[in-house]
Structure 1
């Protein structure tokens, strides 16, 4: 049975301007356009795609084959309390990565966020600094962290031991799962890392009130193949890589995006999800000692 669906994703539209001016977007608590400045120099194009369910395919069991995989996380259907997230769920994710991903010595979880398709941004301001504030699903093909952001994260978090960390295998991994009920709209899709041309990735600065981070947005190409877990349940975790320093790995990363379904039931429930971002090091050591 074919469980593929038709959906759309926003891709970066290439502009020759990016040769001389780095792509950027500003998420600040004021509209820069009011002062005659630009909030961004990015432009987008929407592409209709076929998204395939990879749930029953064994070839996707190893995250290094395509840049993503899935595993079970049972018992966290509802996560409305920050204390429950940080005291119970985050340690569960850490144990999952340690047991289900190869070559794992140490897991350093540095960020988590809730996304809700009914989120409202007061004044249009996206507050990335407050983890208790939910975000909308993102319908843009992207990779959360460019290598330079990973370097900065390690230098900031482990200033005395950064050189020791840089000498081992480093991966940036996201663990994403829905909350409350199976996904009925705005599913999360990932692109087969073997089908991403390096030229499709465009380094972009995301300017926020708290800091500036660097990520990749992606242009579209016909080679790209996109996958998801159709009607993904709260017990199913989607695990995918932003980065892998191992030089000979088959798929060192994947890009991802929430998808705009072409067919959504009028009574479809809103999507709620939690994502956890981690740095995974091959060396084993106590984080408290770094």
Structure 2
């Protein structure tokens, strides 16, 4: 089974795009990227064959967490990070897993999931509806040195990768699920390096231009005891490295559906 939904893709442009996720300095545009909304088929991944992190770039796993309050920063850091590191090693066979970041998101009532979804007022970030990948070939390699001082991602011979572990924090996701694009259906020229500026730092992600061959998937009615794991970077050349993803609005949402809440963690793996 499948449905059709709108995804926000980058329009092709000559210059490297950038986006400020806060009010930019005087005289500077908030963003130079321009987007188009594209209607895409989204397949029900529960009805298809099991996927692989190294081929399609994503897979769904059942994992019950012992965390009582995902809004408790200390509990997440002490308990959930350990759970995610264990899961990542079990899925990949990596010898070391370092959870280095997490973010709790809450969808905003009445707002479609087509933007970057970061609020300026300090409230929790909302769903991100723009098709993107969290790291580029360059920023993924830089992450190794950031987490492991003395190691250079450009020269280190060993394999390392970055996973994103996404978990809903509601009983079931009924309004704005996360869509993932089969990494094997995305060409390198579809990925556009983009500067993202935060108040205290800057980073580089991939935005994605539209191509007819992109194969989108989602897992309907994801539960709190399920986690969607997908690849954001891999230094190996013969496996999936980048998995574009985005939140999207379901065509029909029950009027009493709870607003989606979710937590995502990022994990550096060394093999």
Same fold (TM over 0.5): yes
1:287 is aligned to none
Deviations 1:176-216 (A, max 9, x none): 01013110111001001111011111100001111110000
Q: 15, 31, 37: which one pairs with 1:40?
A: 31
Q: Deviations over 1:15-72 (max 9, x none)?
A: 2xx2xx32101123x354xx33211111010111221121243341x21121111111
Q: What are the within-5 Å matches in structure 2 for residues 1-290 of structure 1?
A: 2=1, 4-15=2-13, 18=14, 21-28=15-22, 30-32=23-25, 35-60=26-51, 62-75=52-65, 76=67, 78-102=69-93, 104-118=94-108, 125=120, 134-162=124-152, 166-249=156-239, 251-282=240-271
1:166 CA drift (Å): 2.2
Residue in structure 2 matched with residue 285 of structure 1 by the alignment: none
Secondary structure of the residue that 1:58 maps to in structure 2?
Answer: coil
Q: Check conservation: 1:77, 1:179, Cα contact below 8 A.
A: no
Structure 1 contact 169–244 (Cα < 8 Å) conserved: yes
Number of residue equivalences: 263
Q: Normalized against structure 1, the TM-score is what?
A: 0.84
- Runs of 4+, deviation exceeding 4 Å: none
Give the aligned CA root-mean-square deviation in angstroms.
2.2
**Unpaired stretches in structure 1, ≥5 consecutive residues:** 128-132, 283-290
Structure with more of its chain in helix, by fraction: 1
Q: Is the 8 A contact 1:8 1:261 kept in 2?
A: no
Q: Which has the larger radius of gyration?
A: 1
Query: Do 2:173 and 2:223's aligned partners in 1 also have CA atoms closer than 8 Å?
Result: yes
Maintained 8 Å contact 2:164/2:265: yes
Can you give the 5+ residue segments of structure 2 that lack an aligned partner in the other structure?
112-117
SS at match of 1:189: strand
Verify the 8 A CA contact 1:183 1:232 in the aligned structure 2.
yes
TM-score by length of 2: 0.90
